[in-house]
Chain A
């Protein structure tokens, strides 16, 4: 019987969930600006995945580091002191087939797990809201063995029926359409939000509710989702962080309390 923590933030809950998804020995690509994903990856690394490969602008192993700094910016060179290799950025694309896990955010995420990071509202370029653009996601999502979509805004304007623009192909039009396009990667596995975890139904590849976070109802999720979500008869609660996981998060990974802000 696990000893679960009682008082934790949404980001801490999601970090614990992410940690349990990472297996030892996997090569994980770390993106910018997703602190809960970064913390979850580190939590896995410091507990059950000591051989995990941390790939950012440097390749590092943190297992013997007592307290890992927060590194607000991915370019922070203080991280280089933990690094064993500085793989030249331009050669990331030469090992892209060998990356196991990555995480991506989006302005819009649709029912087939396609992502829009370009912009919304109107015909390009005259968008009502221009987003950052594709960054690295078009290529990484095409190749990476599996990836997770992460948003901190579970809202009908974010979780939409169809993305207005697609910067990362998920399950495309559902069914086997991604495979037919010839993309070698394994596609999106789960969608993580402050309300729930969602996966994709095996045949249609439509988004399906997998678990709701403690205190959240299925109704809350449905009314905040902009399309008809597949809801199984039995929806479990997302497993909370254990006391031990929370202790490691707060003392070794997130000493600045960034996870406790949400």
Chain B
């Protein structure tokens, strides 16, 4: 019997995500988000997702909230740094309570992921003691540590159905390599029941064995080829972020929360709902724009 290959299409990967599931999205801030799969999940019309964002998530979570697929979100930040210090849809949904926010700081979310990965009900954490976080997130509970008698936070395990990540490349057997930072991706993959890695390219197993030190995780559930798959965000080692596109997104999202939904509806139609495939999306962005994003 041969070795099992786990290569999957964007469409197949997105179809594993169903209404009401808890998924997590990798990358950080403006880098390495699995956008090809995210756009497909939105196009599929999935609803009521609990989304565990990167500890410091980017506007990919904002887009998902704007598109109406999110019920609850766990992250310490949703924004685009100087482009949008806070995601417009995230801000509105958090204030109006239409999306429930699992409030935390970055390390608390990492602790929740570690607890899930290690199969523990919770892990202790000190950061956040004395802050407003346990007041606004009742799942964070104070307890007295039995060793030193100190007041600590019990951070419950963050259980995840599917983690969706974006890496540099992987081979058909699910060996995943990175040429940049892995951010919280590996931790998310370990915390989740299943993990799907979108990659810039699928390489041969021989290519992986040329430098096994680059392999950050193996035995993943799916490897999904999606060149430029993090666009409009950057992909470490491949391309920088598309500032013009993100500005267009931010302007549309801001107009929408101010009462003019049309620019965002247009954005959604043009870039998410109408493209038949990821390749179709890339065609819409255009080869010149894509190639201009390369940095060194």
Q: Would you call B133 and A167 a contact (CB within 8 A)?
A: yes
* A214 CB within 8 Å of chain B: no
* B151 CB within 8 Å of chain A: yes
Interface on chain B toward A: helix, strand, loop, or mixed SS? Answer: loop
**Among candidates B28, B128, B135, residue contacting A139 with C-beta atoms closer than 8 Å:** B128
Question: Which of the 9-residue segments A4-12, A20-28, A77-85, A230-238 touches chain B?
Answer: A77-85
Question: Which of the 9-residue segments B2-10, B89-97, B195-203, B260-268 touches chain A?
Answer: B89-97
**Among candidates B78, B132, B183, B295, residue contacting A78 with C-beta atoms closer than 8 Å:** B295
Interface code A82-118, partner B: CB below 8 Å = 1, 0 otherwise?
0000101110110010000000000000000000101
Q: Which residues of A contact B96 (CB under 8 A)?
A: 125-126
Q: Which of A90, A124, A132, A182 has the most CB of B within 10 A?
A: A90
Q: Which residues of A contact B108 (CB under 8 A)?
A: 138-139
Q: Would you call B186 and A96 a contact (CB within 8 A)?
A: no
Q: Would you call B184 and A167 a contact (CB within 8 A)?
A: no
Q: Would you call A57 and B28 a contact (CB within 8 A)?
A: yes
Of all chain B residues, which has the CB nearest A168? B131
Interface on chain A toward B: helix, strand, loop, or mixed SS? Answer: loop
Chain A proximity of B184: nearest CB distance (Å): 5
Question: Which of the 9-residue segments B35-43, B79-87, B158-166, B276-284 touches chain A?
Answer: B79-87
Chain A proximity of B178: nearest CB distance (Å): 8
Of all chain B residues, which has the CB nearest A56? B181
Q: Would you call B107 and A130 a contact (CB within 8 A)?
A: no
* B187 CB within 8 Å of chain A: yes
* A204 CB within 8 Å of chain B: no
Q: Would you call A136 and B76 a contact (CB within 8 A)?
A: yes
Q: How many A-B residue pairs have CB under 8 A?
A: 173
**Among candidates A93, A130, A182, residue contacting B110 with C-beta atoms closer than 8 Å:** A93
How many B residues face the partner with a CB closer than 8 A? 58
Q: Would you call A136 and B151 a contact (CB within 8 A)?
A: no
CA A116 to CA B136, docked complex, whole Å: 13
How many A residues face the partner with a CB closer than 8 A? 51
* A76 CB within 8 Å of chain B: yes
Chain A proximity of B146: nearest CB distance (Å): 15
Q: Which residues of A contact B111 (CB under 8 A)?
A: 93
Q: Would you call A181 and B130 a contact (CB within 8 A)?
A: yes
Chain A proximity of B104: nearest CB distance (Å): 7
Chain A proximity of B84: nearest CB distance (Å): 10
Q: Would you call A77 and B126 a contact (CB within 8 A)?
A: no
Q: Which residues of B contact A149 (CB under 8 A)?
A: none
Chain A proximity of B161: nearest CB distance (Å): 20
Of all chain A residues, which has the CB nearest B101? A125
Interface code A166-208, partner B: CB below 8 Å = 1, 0 otherwise?
1111001000001001111000000000000000000000000
A76-B295, A124-B136, A126-B95 in contact; A136/B180 too (CB < 8 A)? no
* A33 CB within 8 Å of chain B: yes
A89-B184, A125-B97, A136-B107 in contact; A33/B85 too (CB < 8 A)? yes
Q: Would you call B132 and A130 a contact (CB within 8 A)?
A: no
Q: Would you call B94 and A77 a contact (CB within 8 A)?
A: no
Question: B residues within 8 Å of A by Cβ?
Answer: 28-32, 55-56, 75-79, 81-82, 85-86, 91, 94-97, 101, 103-108, 110-111, 113, 125-133, 135-136, 150-151, 180-184, 186-187, 234, 236-237, 240-241, 295-296
Top 4 closest pairs, chain A to chain B, by CB: A139-B127, A75-B31, A139-B107, A138-B105
Known: A73-B29, A96-B107, A138-B133. 5 other contacts (CB 8 A): A77-B31, A138-B128, A139-B125, A140-B127, A178-B130
Could you list some 9 contacts between A and B, CB below 8 A? A72-B81, A73-B82, A76-B234, A78-B296, A80-B180, A88-B186, A127-B95, A135-B76, A138-B105
